[in-house]
Amino acid sequence: MIVITGATGNIGYGLTRLLLAKGQKVRAVGREAKRLKPLVDQGAEGCIGDMQDTPFLTQAFHGAEAVFSMIPAAADEPDFRAYQNRISESLVEAVAKAGVGFVVNLSSLGAHLPAKTGPIMGLRDHEERLNGLKALRAAHLRPTYFMENLLSGIPVIKGMGVMGSPLKPDLSIPMIATRDIAAVAADVLIAGAEKSSQVRELLGPRDYTLAEATAILGKAIGKPGLKYVQFSYEDTLKAMMGAGMGRDISERMIEMLRSMNEGYLMKDQVRTKENTTPTTLEQFAPVFARIYNS
């Protein structure tokens, strides 16, 4: 039995489906029965509850050979890192009590850095907490910037006629599709603890500048002349909060974006065959277009 936390998210949903297709027994953990139902219909065992509820998680992990660990997003938490640590503590305690021997943990590129990484700091805390369990083998996946993050630009395109963010237009960064993260996670979970490295960075197919990404996506939505505009940190913070995000998570996101612009967050990355994944931004573009046109 493999248990997937965050099973209704982009990565967890794809991961659960891949594992089921490979003949694995899967227990899918989520907060809403309605969102879990498609996975249950495909053969997963649904497990509904709150990840801050340690007794619930302990029961969910009971009998598991492996667990996929992730900390769900929560845009309105007044102290996002404290929230991350509450989830982390619950996960780690449940793993220990249930006697789980192997965890594949969704972390992030930059989780090894000691400061200035915004929400990634909470993922660093979680890695350290899992590594502190002597009886546990933990494999940490550290993916780069999600291609799906670009979907947040759709309201900007529709409202202002441009693509924009605080990132520099000529900043070249690796980008990854979440389906590739799910595919790697499935392979690692099936391979098991003895064949899994402790840390695995995932860098997508290649690096893209934001201007290049905008041109690719603009072409896909019928706007080949779409321009990219770099917004100020101050304006972005106001926009995030205006969209309903809390001040704390918004400020942490700005800190992360600033670190990307300054070359700090991704300063240690080295692309290899092992950390390169297949889905290109050109292949992701139809997904962007479908959501843009929906």
- CATH for 2-145+176-202 is 3.40.50.720
Report strand pairing: 66-69 vs 102-106.
Answer: parallel
What's the whole-number average pLDDT of the chain?
96
Q: How far is CA 163 from CA 130, 187, 208, 209, 237, in A?
A: 39, 35, 15, 13, 16
What percentage of the chain has pLDDT greater than the value 90? 95
User: What distance in Å separates the CA atoms of residue 294 and residue 290, rounded to the nearest whole number?
Assistant: 6
According to the model, what pLDDT value does residue 127 have? 97
Give the sheet arrangement for strand 172-176, strand by strand: 145-146, 172-176, 207-209
d(CA 29, CA 48): 6
Write the pLDDT tens digit of every residue in 134-151: 999 999 999 999 999 999
Which of 289, 273, 287, 107 lies closest to 205 in space, CA to CA?
273
Query: Which residue is it, tokens 């100020």?
Result: 232
d(CA 73, CA 253): 12
pLDDT at 153 exceeding the cut of 80: yes
pLDDT band for position 37 (50/70/90)? very high
- Is residue 197's pLDDT more than 80? no
The per-residue pLDDT for range 243-269, each reduced to its tens digit, is: 899 999 999 999 999 999 999 999 999
pLDDT at 194: 75
At residue 141, what are phi and psi to the nearest 5 degrees?
Answer: -90, 130
The terminus-to-terminus CA distance of the chain in angstroms comes to: 37
- Answer for the pair 284, 208: CB distance below 8 angstroms, yes or no: no
- What pTM was computed for the model? 0.95
Residue 192's pLDDT band, with cuts at 50, 70 and 90, is confident
- Of the candidates 153, 146, 137, the residue with the CA atom closest to the CA atom of residue 109: 146
- Rounded-to-integer distance, Cα 81 and Cα 252, Å: 9
What number of residues does the chain have?
A: 294
Instruction: Tell me what the mean pLDDT of segment 119-126 comes to.
Output: 97
Cα 211 from Cα 165, distance rounded (Å): 11
pLDDT at 49 over 80: yes
